[in-house]
Amino acid sequence: MRVLVAEDEHRIADALAKGLRADGFAVDVVADGAEGLWRATEYAYDAVVLDIMLPSLSGYEVVRRLRAAEVWTPVLMLTAKDGEYDEADALDLGADDYLSKPFSYVVVLAHIRALIRRGGPTRPVVLVAGDLTFDPATRRCRLAGTSISLTARECGLLEYLMRHPDEVLSKSEILAHVWDQNYPGDPNIVEVYIGYLRKKLDAPFSSNRIETIRGAGYRLHGSGRR
Ligand code: CA
């Protein structure tokens, strides 16, 4: 899942980005409203965390313009309690949720997860594909009742695949949602991590739940083992 953080207080932005990355999210950070608007319009994010007081364009203006452009990415607005705006304004203008500063990382994470869950058509809290389950909140993965240990990045990749079962996902699509915008390395990293997941989820069971579609990408079978 890919999150855009628009926050000009570096201390807060850094803490958020660090925490979210450790939890397997891909995170892009901007410190300017206009840049935030541009990114949120140009790229597909799963959620946007938006501070109100930003240089060049306020968070209010960003969310208003996003909705006017029919971009419906869930937005979590960060408000200051003593600010000149209040939470009602944030929701009026099209934010989906708000948090007052100061907040703890755990609370932000819970709000972001809830937003992503609500983001589309009703999605189950625990993702299921046949005998494979993944709980995004606890990062717990189980296969045929057995607990499978995954790294943060493997969790991020598996969550993205499981939220798009039976869809062919291109390498660049996966890269964009699971790795950062600024990821400087080889896009073949996707292949490498698909390989890691297969080693844990397919190889021991001689199954083919993560399929390679030659020249197109990868597909996770929603019914599980094949
Ligand atoms: Ca600010």
Which domains occur in the chain, in start order?
2-118 (3.40.50.2300), 127-220 (1.10.10.10)
Instruction: Report pLDDT for 221.
Output: 93
- Do the Cβ atoms of 76 and 48 come closer than 8 Å? yes
Distance 83 CA to ligand 1 centre (A): 11
Instruction: Report pLDDT for 225.
Output: 61
Distance 9 CA to ligand 1 centre (A): 6
Instruction: Report pLDDT for 123.
Output: 43
Instruction: Report pLDDT for 55.
Output: 94
Distance 52 CA to ligand 1 centre (A): 6
Distance 85 CA to ligand 1 centre (A): 13
Instruction: Report pLDDT for 19.
Output: 94
Beta strands 217-220 and 210-213 are antiparallel
Distance CA(197)–CA(79), nearest Å, equals 39
Q: Which two tokens stand for residue 187?
A: 């896009």
Instruction: Report pLDDT for 2.
Output: 94
Distance 184 CA to ligand 1 centre (A): 28
Using CB atoms within 10 A of its CB, is residue 108 exposed (0-12), middle (13-18) or buried (19+)? Answer: buried
Instruction: Report pLDDT for 134.
Output: 92
Using CB atoms within 10 A of its CB, is residue 205 exposed (0-12), middle (13-18) or buried (19+)? Answer: middle
Q: Average pLDDT by consecutive 10-residue portion of the chain (226 residues)? A: 95 95 94 96 93 92 87 88 62 80 90 83 68 85 91 93 94 88 81 96 90 94 76
Instruction: Report pLDDT for 121.
Output: 39
Distance 50 CA to ligand 1 centre (A): 9
Q: Which two tokens stand for residue 176?
A: 């964009």
Distance 8 CA to ligand 1 centre (A): 5
